[in-house]
Amino acid sequence: MSKKIMRFKREIVCILMVMFTYISTSVCMTPYTSAVKTISYYYGSRGDVVSQIQGRLRDWGYYNGSIDGIYGYKTFTAVKTFQAKNGLSVDGVAGNATLNAIGINVAALEGAASGNNKNVTSNQDVLLLARLINGEARGEPYEGQVAVGAVVLNRTRDPKFPSSVAGVIYQPGAFTAIVDGQIHANLLQSSVNAAQDALNGWDPSGGAIYYFNPSTATSSWIWSRPLIKIIGKHRFCR
């Protein structure tokens, strides 16, 4: 009887040790597991990041659809083509490696992912708007940089334009920085600050939905827009 009791006790101890090891390992590995989670965009995804993917792939000739922020069939096949041409895993999913290759800031996405979805959008809006300001208004007075960001936001509230920051920025022909690639220039801190100020509600443009540099403008139509104010080299108009 005593031997059976001893064997039973040993079995209980072994079971407890296994359970303890499992629980301890799970607890220790949880932060690691969270840290290595990847952010992926795939068929059916929606949002500003999808608009960024579409815009860049269209700029490079992989995508011929509209910048609507919806990861549909055309976006899926464009991502696959891009992946095949760039030595990536061809699965049509925009994960970390593909996002990095496209030039979308994965670190910013991962940092934002620790918050809620609203924070993801907010952080991406700051980054994209900062890059647009950086490409369009580097060297302009700070007020003028914020005004450029405000024009983008004013357009999102105007029914004549797309309703998202990415949609406005990547609207075909809307901004020179998209056409000439200046949106990818080295990002200055002042551009980030200007984007944050614009998103926080500062509008030095006075409600403008257009601006242009008269020394470089090639469109005669833009001169017909009612002038609100001049900041630096830019004329801000309705």
CATH number of the domain at 78, please. Answer: 1.10.101.10
Q: Which domain holds residue 142?
A: 118-238
Same domain, 202 and 139: yes
**CA-CA-CA-CA dihedral for 235, 144, 60, 71, to nearest 10:** -110
Which of the listed residues 60, 77, 104 is the one where a domain comes to its end?
104
Q: Which of 42, 45, 67, 101 minimizes the C-alpha distance to 178?
A: 67
Between CA 136 and CA 191 the distance in angstroms is 10
Same domain, 123 and 238: yes
Q: Which of 153, 155, 158 minimizes the C-alpha distance to 196?
A: 153
Is residue 109 domain-resident?
Answer: no
Per-residue model confidence (pLDDT) at position 59: 85
153: which residues sit within 8 A by CB, 6+ positions away? 129, 165, 198, 199, 203
Same domain, 90 and 134: no
DSSP annotation string for 98-147: HHHHHT--HHHHHHHHTS-HHHHHHHHHHHHHHHHHHHHHTTS-HHHHHH
Assign 44 to helix, strand or coil. Answer: coil
**Mean pLDDT, 10 residues at a time, the chain of 238 residues:** 63 56 42 46 83 90 91 92 89 87 70 46 78 95 96 94 90 89 91 92 95 87 93 95
Is residue 174 domain-resident?
Answer: yes
Same domain, 69 and 165: no
Per-residue model confidence (pLDDT) at position 43: 81
Same domain, 61 and 144: no
Same domain, 202 and 169: yes
Residues 186-196 as b/e (b if ≥16 CB within 10 A, e otherwise) read ebeebbbbbbb
Assign 61 to helix, strand or coil. Answer: coil
Query: In the sheet where 234-237 sits, what is the strand order?
Result: 210-212, 234-237, 227-231
Q: Are 52 and 166 in contact (CB under 8 A)?
A: yes
Per-residue model confidence (pLDDT) at position 106: 62
Distance from the Cα of residue 73 to its chain's centroid: 20
Count of CA atoms in the C-beta half-sphere (13 A) of 41 = 31
Domain with residue 209: its CATH number is 1.10.10.2520
Per-residue model confidence (pLDDT) at position 216: 84
Same domain, 100 and 154: no
Between CA 209 and CA 62 the distance in angstroms is 30
Same domain, 122 and 238: yes
The number of folded domains in the chain is 2
Same domain, 148 and 227: yes
Same domain, 129 and 203: yes
Which of the listed residues 81, 104, 127 is the one where a domain comes to its end?
104
